[in-house]
Structure formats: C-alpha cells, structure tokens
C-alpha cells in the first residue's frame, strides 16, 4: 500500500488518488519494478481533501484525516506501507522525518513495516533523485519477498 499526501485538482474532480502528472510517474515507477495499481497495490492519501492552493497539509489536517487512513489500512491489511513524502510519513509514524535520512530504513505502523521514499511530484521537479526512488521500490519488493505470505 502506497500513501501519498493528498488529492490535487484532478484527483479532487475524479475522486481517485494520483490520476494527474505525479500519478503517471507513479504508475511508471511501479511498472519499472513489475507492479501495477489495483493488482496487489493499493494507493491512498494521508489527507482526504485538497488543501487550499495545493499547499502542504498541516499537522492538524493530517491528524483529522488519520482515522480514515487508519481504517483503509485496517481494511486493506497491507503487507507493507510505503510513505511517499514527508506528510505521508508523518501520518503513518507520527513524527517528522527527513526523506534523505529515512530512506532505506524499515519503520512500523502498528505491526506493518513502513518504508519512506520521495513523493512523485518532488521527483518531477528533481529528476536526479528518480534513481533513488527506484532503489527504494526495489527495496520494497525485496522486503515483500521476504514477508510471510497469507
């Protein structure tokens, strides 16, 4: 299960996460490691409404939406959570992280392992970091491979 930040304009219109430019990149990143949304990959957002002017969600907004994300996690029962960017990591781990320092470490949300990587919108602005995100998804695949199957 991948967790993004919150809906943008297109996502708000369509009621689906990651359907804009960042979503296209996310789909391509998933394809590069042999994954596809909807096929064992579930995508959610930390906040459920679009913050005004696409600003980063505030801590109080993340907290307000957390019960919805928590319920999604409870229903999906993912083997692994991947936080895309800082707000998602903050929602899942209840702490501030620096993506550069947190990458490559395994955190926990309740009993579920959590990895942290760059948000696709950041990667659109900073394509030099795409290879790191690719490494992170390879790490995710390796962890999934090592987890007991249901």
The site for ligand URA (CB under 6 A) is made up of 4-8, 11, 17-18, 22-23, 45, 121
| Residue 13 CB, nearest approach to ligand URA (Å) | 12
Q: Could you tell me if 91 and 3 are in contact, meaning their C-beta atoms sit under 8 angstroms apart? A: yes
| Residue 33 CB, nearest approach to ligand URA (Å) | 19
96: which residues sit within 8 A by CB, 6+ positions away?
86, 90
| Residue 50 CB, nearest approach to ligand URA (Å) | 9
Nearer of residues 7 and 113 to ligand URA, judged by Cβ: 7
Nearer of residues 23 and 113 to ligand URA, judged by Cβ: 23
Nearer of residues 31 and 147 to ligand URA, judged by Cβ: 31
Nearer of residues 87 and 113 to ligand URA, judged by Cβ: 87
Helices (H) and strands (E) in the chain, counts: 7, 5
| Residue 21 CB, nearest approach to ligand URA (Å) | 9
By beta carbon distance, the residue nearest ligand URA is: 4
Q: What is the radius of gyration, based on Cα positions, of the chain?
A: 14
Return d(Cα 15, Cα 6) in angstroms, integer. 11
Taking residue 35's Cβ as centre, other Cβ atoms within 10 Å add up to: 17
Measured in degrees and rounded to the nearest 5, phi and psi for residue 84 equal -100, 95
């Amino acid at each position: 299960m991948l967790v993004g930040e919150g809906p943008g304009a297109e996502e708000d219109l369509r009621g689906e996460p990651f359907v804009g430019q960042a979503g296209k990149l996310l789909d391509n990143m998933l394809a590069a490691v042999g994954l596809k949304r909807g096929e064992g990959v579930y995508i959610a957002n930390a906040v459920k409404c679009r913050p005004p002017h696409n600003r980063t969600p505030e801590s109080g907004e993340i907290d307000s939406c957390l019960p919805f994300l928590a319920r999604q996690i409870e229903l999906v029962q993912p083997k692994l959570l991947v936080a895309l960017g800082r707000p998602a990591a903050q929602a899942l781990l209840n702490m501030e992280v620096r993506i550069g320092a947190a990458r490559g470490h395994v955190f926990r949300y309740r009993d579920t392992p959590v990895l942290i990587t760059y948000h696709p919108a950041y990667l659109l602005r900073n394509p030099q970091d795409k290879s790191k995100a690719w490494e992170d998804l390879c790490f995710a695949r390796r962890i999934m491979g090592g987890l007991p199957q249901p």
